Amino acid sequence: NLSSGIVGLANVGKSTFFQAITRSKLGNPANYPFATIKPEEAIVTVHSPKLDRLAELYLSQKSIPSVLRIYDIAGLIKGASDNKGLGNAFLSDIRAVDGIFQVVRGFRDDEITHVEGDVDPARDLTIVQDELLLKDMEFIENSLDRIAKQLKNKRNRPADEVARWEAHQQTLAIAYDHLMEGRRILDKPDWTDDQIEALNSYSLLTAKPTVFLLNSSKNDYLRGENEFLPHVQDWVRHNAPESPVILFSAEYETEAVESGGPSAIPLIVEQMRQALHLISFYTCGPIEARQWTVRKGTLCPQAAGVIHSDFERTFINAEVIKYRDVEQLPAPLNEKLLRSSGKIARVGKNYVVEDGDIMRINAAA
């Protein structure tokens, strides 16, 4: 159940965007089973044309999409990494999320104060990123101190524990040097799997996949152009390569909810899912068609465990149908025909689930 947080300087439109999500038809779905939602938390359903099609093919009574949790994180201010003002709460909130939506102001409005004086999203991106880099460096310094203390009396410690601390020490030192150059942890392409596993236990802020959202006027959004967009794209290419940039309008999203206009929310959610390397598989029948979310590379038993935690342990095998094999077929699906034409595959524990798989899990009772 992955989550993401909305981050940015004050007055850039974060709350406006968050409110639009909570009021959107895609937001806070009524049939969502875990209904306790905090005020700063929104749940947005993942727009899935595949799920809609599958519900038709299986004559399902209802369809249940996956969701993404989105947190409104209190405003970041310059100097947050020195624990000024909201800094501290902000930093612990952001540590808890898996991905970051960074909202940056690209609209002019003399009525709305810009905390830095004028509208300059490339400068704002640098301010926010510098805060995150500094906070990661500070966090690594503290972690290295703690590890050094652990290693002081290493003769009294189990050898495997000492080896693990020493490996963490090495990885954190590499991470620190990388941050010193002004680069995000995410942007070092040659981390080994062991290093990544070590880094994961520190929840570093610049290791979190980020989607950049340029908040513009309604007009700019609808025409797909904004005077700052090229600067922002350029900045991201240099300072946060591979991260997507989306032009949207926080103000217009609120209107789009009411008027049914072209909302950017489905694209925003989709880009975050891609940044988090998430894929969907489906379970389908006459009662419900349901979309499930796992990380790319997930093995079948772990994917089954998302449906029901017991299934990971009791998993026997699964039957898989590829979405592309049924997409064009007439409803209702003829399973006998699918089976006789070899479109239903039986897979075991080592099968890696693919995006669009329709699964039926066999588990021991």
Of residues 99 and 106, the one with the C-beta less far from ligand GDP:
106
The binding track of 226-255 with respect to ligand GDP, each residue x by CB under 6 A or -, is: -----------------------xxx----
Of residues 1 and 219, the one with the C-beta less far from ligand GDP:
219
Of residues 10 and 338, the one with the C-beta less far from ligand GDP:
10
Other beta carbons within 10 Å of 252 = 24
Residues 251-280 that bind ligand GDP (CB under 6 A): 251
Beta carbons of 2 and 98 less than 8 angstroms apart: yes
Beta carbons of 249 and 226 less than 8 angstroms apart: no
Q: How many residues contact ligand GDP, by CB under 6 A?
A: 17
Of residues 18 and 292, the one with the C-beta less far from ligand GDP:
18
* Candidate residues 63, 195, 215, 291; the one interacting with ligand GDP per rule CB under 6 A: 215
**What is the pairing mode between strands 41-45 and 245-248?**
unpaired
Beta carbons of 10 and 105 less than 8 angstroms apart: no
Minimum distance from CB of 214 to ligand GDP (Å)? 10
Minimum distance from CB of 224 to ligand GDP (Å)? 15
Which range in 7-15, 168-176, 201-209, 338-346 contacts ligand GDP by CB under 6 A?
A: 7-15
* Candidate residues 3, 11, 83, 203; the one interacting with ligand GDP per rule CB under 6 A: 11
Which range in 10-18, 27-35, 283-291, 347-355 contacts ligand GDP by CB under 6 A?
A: 10-18
Which range in 3-11, 128-136, 259-267, 350-358 contacts ligand GDP by CB under 6 A?
A: 3-11
Residues 178-197 that bind ligand GDP (CB under 6 A): none
Residues 110-149 that bind ligand GDP (CB under 6 A): 112
User: How many alpha carbons lie under 13 Å from residue 323 in its C-beta half-sphere?
Assistant: 21
Minimum distance from CB of 112 to ligand GDP (Å)? 4
Of residues 125 and 186, the one with the C-beta less far from ligand GDP:
125
Candidates 329, 121, 86; CA nearest to 215 is 121
Q: How far apart are CA 258 and CA 44, in angstroms?
A: 17
Minimum distance from CB of 90 to ligand GDP (Å)? 12
Beta carbons of 153 and 264 less than 8 angstroms apart: no
The binding track of 74-113 with respect to ligand GDP, each residue x by CB under 6 A or -, is: -x-------------------------------x-x--x-
Residues 13-42 that bind ligand GDP (CB under 6 A): 13-16
Q: How far apart are CA 330 and CA 332, in angstroms?
A: 6
The reply to whether 5 sits near ligand GDP by the rule CB under 6 A is no
- Whole-Å CA distances, 358 to 39, 46, 291, 322, 324: 35, 17, 9, 6, 10
Minimum distance from CB of 351 to ligand GDP (Å)? 44
Binding footprint of ligand GDP on the chain (CB under 6 A): 8, 10-16, 75, 107, 109, 112, 215, 217, 249-251
